[in-house]
C-alpha cells in the first residue's frame, strides 16, 4: 500500500512537502494577509483558541488553492477518486494566544461508516509559514480516530 495512505489510515494523518510553488505561496499569503486585516476584534475575541477562523468560501482569492493541481494529485495518490470541498478556514494565531482545545472535527459518529476503513473526511492543511512546537504547531494523538483515548471522555 502507498505509505502515505497507510499512515493516514493508521495514524490519521500524513504530510507532504512543498505542494505550492513560491508564486502560489505568495499569492495565498497576499490573499490571507488582506483577509486578516479585515477580521474584527469581536471575531478574534470569540475565537481566541482557534485563531482567526476566516471562512475561505467568502474569499474568491482562494479558488486556485481549493482547486490546486498538486492537491488533486495528492488526493489521487491517496486513492480518493472524486474528493469534494466542504469547508475551509484561514487559521492564524497571534503570538501568546491560548492553545487550541483537544477536539475531533468528524461529526458522523452515529453513522456505521465511521466504524469502517472508509475515509469520509480529510482535513487538508497548508502551512503558510514554518510551524514548530515553539510557535504553535498542531498537536495530534496518532490513531485516536480509531482507538479510544482517555481524552475522548472529556470532549
Ligand X SMILES: O=C(O)CCC(=O)C(=O)O
Residues that bind ligand X (CB under 6 A): 50-51, 91, 100, 105, 138
The owner of cell 474568491 is 60
**Smallest Cα–Cα separation from 60: which of 84, 92, 27, 21?**
27
The angle subtended at Cα 24 by Cα 120 and Cα 93, nearest 5°, is 65
Q: Which is nearer to ligand X, 14 or 91 (CB)?
A: 91
CB of 81 to ligand X, least distance (A): 25
Q: Which is nearer to ligand X, 50 or 114 (CB)?
A: 50
Contact 139, 131 (CB under 8 A): no
CB of 32: closest distance to ligand X in angstroms? 14
Task: Specify the residue, 105 or 117, whose C-beta has the smaller distance to ligand X.
Answer: 105
The enclosing H or E element of 89 equals strand 89-90
Minimum distance of ligand X from residue 101's CB (angstroms): 10
Q: Tell me the closest approach of the beta carbon of residue 100 to ligand X, in angstroms.
A: 5
Instruction: Give the residue at shortest CB distance from ligand X.
Output: 138
Distance CA 145, CA 115 (A): 10
- Comparing CB distances to ligand X, the nearer of 2 and 55 is 55
DSSP string, 69-98: HHHHHHHHHTT-SS------EE----TTPP
Amino acid at each position: 500500500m502507498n505509505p502515505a495512505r497507510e499512515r493516514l489510515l493508521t495514524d490519521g494523518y500524513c504530510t507532504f512537502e512543498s505542494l505550492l510553488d513560491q508564486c502560489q505561496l505568495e499569492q495565498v499569503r497576499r490573499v490571507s494577509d488582506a483577509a486578516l486585516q479585515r477580521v474584527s476584534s469581536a471575531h478574534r475575541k470569540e475565537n481566541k483558541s482557534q485563531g482567526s477562523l476566516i471562512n475561505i468560501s467568502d474569499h474568491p482569492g482562494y479558488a486556485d488553492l481549493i482547486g490546486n493541481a498538486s492537491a488533486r494529485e495528492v488526493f489521487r495518490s491517496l486513492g480518493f477518486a472524486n474528493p469534494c470541498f466542504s469547508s475551509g478556514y484561514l487559521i492564524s494565531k497571534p503570538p501568546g494566544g491560548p492553545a487550541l482545545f483537544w477536539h475531533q472535527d468528524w461529526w458522523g459518529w452515529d453513522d456505521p461508516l465511521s466504524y469502517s476503513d472508509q475515509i469520509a473526511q480529510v482535513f487538508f492543511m497548508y502551512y503558510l509559514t514554518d510551524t514548530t512546537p515553539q510557535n504553535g504547531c498542531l498537536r495530534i494523538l496518532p490513531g485516536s480516530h480509531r482507538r479510544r483515548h482517555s481524552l475522548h471522555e472529556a470532549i
